[in-house]
Structure 1
Amino acid sequence: MTEHAHSHGHGHSHGVSPDADRRWLRAALLLLTAYMAVEVVIGVLAQSLALISDAAHMLTDAVSIVLALIAMRLAARPARGGYTYGLKRAEILSAQANGITLLLLSVWLAYEAVQRLISPPAVTGGLVLITALSGIVVNLICTWLLSRANRSSLNVEGAYQHILTDLFGFVATAISGLIVLTTGFTRADAIASLVVVALMLRAGTGLVRESGRIFMEAAPAGLDPDALGERLVSQDEVVEVHDLHIWQITSGQPALSAHILVAPGGDCHKVRRNLQELLSGGYGITHATLQVDHLGEQGSAGDVLTLGPGPGHAAADGSERPGSEHCEDTHGPVHRQEPRRP
């Protein structure tokens, strides 16, 4: 008789960032906002695009932290109504917004920097150098504050990347201020801005790519679904694994669902427990939904092992298999236990 076992892994790591994370982020936000106001005034007085671009970047730093704080509050709300996962992906929206902001700002700064390379204005090198050096100190403190928060969250990582690229930008600005002060080479200011642009492009691209993977329901980076499927089907009494889906609810919260077919007479409940232990211990996947059924008992042993998901569906090795009573419309590759030779 065919058995059905539907299970959900327990002990899910659905915890939101603790209050400590919010405290670190708020402290960095206050420090950044205060310094940014000072830098804008000095940048205008010194006619330094590098300083103004740093200040503009600090504005996006502040916005990124505000977004992170809002997203944390939204993600902490319990699941209700149509939002069965709650609002946990608000943090991923925040990370994507941070990445897009970095990319847009880098385009504007690149344009301004090229204009200044063509026609460089007079830059007060000494003022730029002093301001940039103090900016390095401020950003080092902010970087340390955010490093204390939970960086496994893509949301916090987005804010952290903003601060880190700003720190490198201040280093480049300080060097340009020293060059202008000692040599009078005013184009160094625009070149420093281009260095900041390159850093912003790199950080922004990474954030957009990683948040995009989560929105597109891709498997977590570094986890190969095909290899995992083969590992599952190699376990005792497992004959076939299909409808295997692996995705991330939000940062650090992978989820998995699959249909498992067990050899006739096998213990479905034992198989389910073993597979969940494997997923939790070996892959860190504690949110797993497994449907475990017996494979049809009719036919010879050889027939049982070669039953497929339905006409026209390919197995994991690319070959086409005969139909089966189970899941005539499977999604994705099918992983099968190879028939054991006597």
Structure 2
Amino acid sequence: MAHDHAAAGHAHDHTAGANARMLGWALALTSIYLVAEVVGGIVFNSLALLSDAAHMMTDVAALVIALLALKLGGKAPDDKRTFGYRRFEILAAAFNAVLLFGIAIYVFVEAIRRFSDPQEIQSWGMMIVAAIGLLVNIVSMRLLTAGKEASFNVKGAYLEVWADMIGSVGVIAGAVLIRLTGWTWIDPVVAVAIGLWVLPRTWILLRDTTNVLLEGVPANLRLNDVRAAIAAVPGVAGLHDLHVWSMANDDVSCTVHVTLDAGAEADAARRGVTAMLAARFGIGHVTVQTEAAGEPCGDGQTTHP
């Protein structure tokens, strides 16, 4: 049995290493193109390219977050950080969201200015840069395809890159229209459209990361449902001091004080609560403290399914 466990560990390490390499290549490609797109937006005077660069930044952030999760997520807790280092992933995502809001504000203000004061756009350069971006997205998606089913973080990065292809296609379409019609106002329209596409996902990212940092109840859980399920476990007469939170999106913890029925065994009640929370709500780390009715809190024990 020990040999099988070690083999499984080696397989996990191999998979994580392969995912990290693919993420690293995708990050390098996307980062290089991000710089090229910013330079292209300035040189060719295209607000649409700059807006798409902001969207490309979400790809870079998603890839960095995925790499952080792989590199730091498995790092063991120590005497200073007893919960480990998984919050780095959440902090990076929150910083990314705040930065994107700032960029979006700049794009919208600049777009309004350009509507009233149209500027010359070098559509050919705009089209070429966007076409290169589309190619980079396709290559990055190809690199991430193999690991997206084995890792939630890789899958998240894959979906970010896929979504960015829409921005690249929009810029290309805008460049073609400007070339054919000479209507330079199309550039700020495309820029605003890309910004409106990015902002809802940015808001969701900021909302979810803030909830994790505030140790709020994960979005997929309802505290009343958890409370009712614990109360229904045999041997449980009541409960209080219920807390459910997460260190990261896929790491949910729960602590609760349980009052026992008369004659109920504390160990059996703890095991029942732990097993139910794991099976029904996917909560993997549970601390249950038991006490008899009318008595002060007893000793708590941490149990794992």
TM-score of the superposition, structure 2-length normalised?
0.82
Are the equivalent residues in 2 in contact too, given 1:166–1:196 (CA < 8 A)? no
Q: Which residue in 2 is equivalent to 1:216?
A: 214
Which secondary structure state, in structure 1, belongs to the residue aligned with residue 152 of structure 2? coil
Q: Which residue in 2 is equivalent to 1:112?
A: 110
Structure 1 or 2: more helix by fraction: 2
Q: Distance in 2 between matches of 1:290 and 1:53?
A: 50
Which secondary structure state, in structure 2, belongs to the residue aligned with residue 240 of structure 1? strand
Q: Which residue in 2 is equivalent to 1:198?
A: 196
Q: Deviations over 1:142-191 (max 9, x none)?
A: 245456346634x984x567645533221221121121112111110110
Once the 2 structures are TM-superposed, how far is the Cα of residue 74 of structure 1 from its aligned partner?
3.5
Which has the higher Rg, Structure 1 or Structure 2? 1
Which amino acid in 1 is paired with 2:103?
L
Q: Distance in 1 between matches of 2:58 and 2:224?
A: 40
Are the equivalent residues in 1 in contact too, given 2:93–2:209 (CA < 8 A)? yes
Once the 2 structures are TM-superposed, how far is the Cα of residue 56 of structure 1 from its aligned partner?
4.9
Q: Which residue in 1 is equivalent to 2:4?
A: none
Go from structure 1 to structure 2 and tell me whether the alpha carbon gap of 1:60 and 1:227 turns closer, same or farther (over 3 Å shift).
closer
Say which of 267, 270, 278 aligns to 2:268. Answer: 270
Q: Distance in 2 between matches of 1:236 and 1:41?
A: 65
Once the 2 structures are TM-superposed, how far is the Cα of residue 78 of structure 1 from its aligned partner?
1.5
Are the equivalent residues in 1 in contact too, given 2:61–2:93 (CA < 8 A)? no
Q: Distance in 2 between matches of 1:266 and 1:200?
A: 54
Q: Deviations over 1:14-36 (max 9, x none)?
A: x9993333222211112113333
Structure 2 regions of 5+ residues with no counterpart?
A: 1-11, 298-305
Task: State whether structure 2 residue 295 is matched by structure 1 residue 325.
Answer: yes
Q: Distance in 1 between matches of 2:40 and 2:295?
A: 74
Which secondary structure state, in structure 1, belongs to the residue aligned with residue 84 of structure 2? coil
Q: Which residue in 2 is equivalent to 1:282?
A: 280
Q: Which residue in 1 is equivalent to 2:44?
A: 46
Q: Distance in 1 between matches of 2:53 and 2:59?
A: 9
Q: Which residue in 2 is equivalent to 1:152?
A: 152
Once the 2 structures are TM-superposed, how far is the Cα of residue 40 of structure 1 from its aligned partner?
4.1
Are the equivalent residues in 2 in contact too, given 1:261–1:292 (CA < 8 A)? yes
Taking CA–CA contacts closer than 8 Å with sequence separation of 6 or more, which of the two structures ends up with the larger relative contact order? 1
Percent sequence identity is: 29
Are the equivalent residues in 2 in contact too, given 1:68–1:156 (CA < 8 A)? no
Which secondary structure state, in structure 2, belongs to the residue aligned with residue 137 of structure 1? helix
Which 4+ stretches in 1 moved above 6 angstroms? none
Once the 2 structures are TM-superposed, how far is the Cα of residue 292 of structure 1 from its aligned partner?
2.1
Are the equivalent residues in 1 in contact too, given 2:107–2:192 (CA < 8 A)? yes
Once the 2 structures are TM-superposed, how far is the Cα of residue 283 of structure 1 from its aligned partner?
1.0
Task: State whether structure 2 residue 46 is matched by structure 1 residue 34.
Answer: no
Are the equivalent residues in 2 in contact too, given 1:128–1:174 (CA < 8 A)? yes
Which secondary structure state, in structure 1, belongs to the residue aligned with residue 121 of structure 2? coil
Go from structure 1 to structure 2 and tell me whether the alpha carbon gap of 1:160 and 1:119 turns closer, same or farther (over 3 Å shift).
farther
5 Å-filtered alignment, 1:1-342, equals 18-59=16-57, 61-62=59-60, 65-66=63-64, 68-70=66-68, 72-146=70-144, 148-149=147-148, 152-153=152-153, 157=156, 163-164=161-162, 166-295=164-293, 324-326=294-296
- Aligned CA RMSD, in angstroms, stands at 2.7
Which secondary structure state, in structure 1, belongs to the residue aligned with residue 110 of structure 2? helix
Q: Distance in 2 between matches of 1:287 and 1:173?
A: 47
Are the equivalent residues in 1 in contact too, given 2:246–2:253 (CA < 8 A)? yes
Go from structure 1 to structure 2 and tell me whether the alpha carbon gap of 1:245 and 1:122 turns closer, same or farther (over 3 Å shift).
same
Which secondary structure state, in structure 2, belongs to the residue aligned with residue 249 of structure 1? strand
Are the equivalent residues in 1 in contact too, given 2:127–2:175 (CA < 8 A)? yes
Once the 2 structures are TM-superposed, how far is the Cα of residue 272 of structure 1 from its aligned partner?
1.5
- Greater Cα shift, 196-205 or 210-219: 196-205
Structure 1 regions of 5+ residues with no counterpart?
A: 1-14, 296-323, 328-342
Are the equivalent residues in 2 in contact too, given 1:165–1:199 (CA < 8 A)? no
Which secondary structure state, in structure 2, belongs to the residue aligned with residue 275 of structure 1? helix
Are the equivalent residues in 2 in contact too, given 1:122–1:186 (CA < 8 A)? yes
Q: Distance in 2 between matches of 1:111 and 1:151?
A: 39
Are the equivalent residues in 1 in contact too, given 2:253–2:285 (CA < 8 A)? yes
Q: How many residues align?
A: 283
Are the equivalent residues in 1 in contact too, given 2:174–2:187 (CA < 8 A)? yes
Q: Distance in 1 between matches of 2:208 and 2:285?
A: 21
Are the equivalent residues in 1 in contact too, given 2:55–2:167 (CA < 8 A)? no
Q: Distance in 2 between matches of 1:33 and 1:92?
A: 21
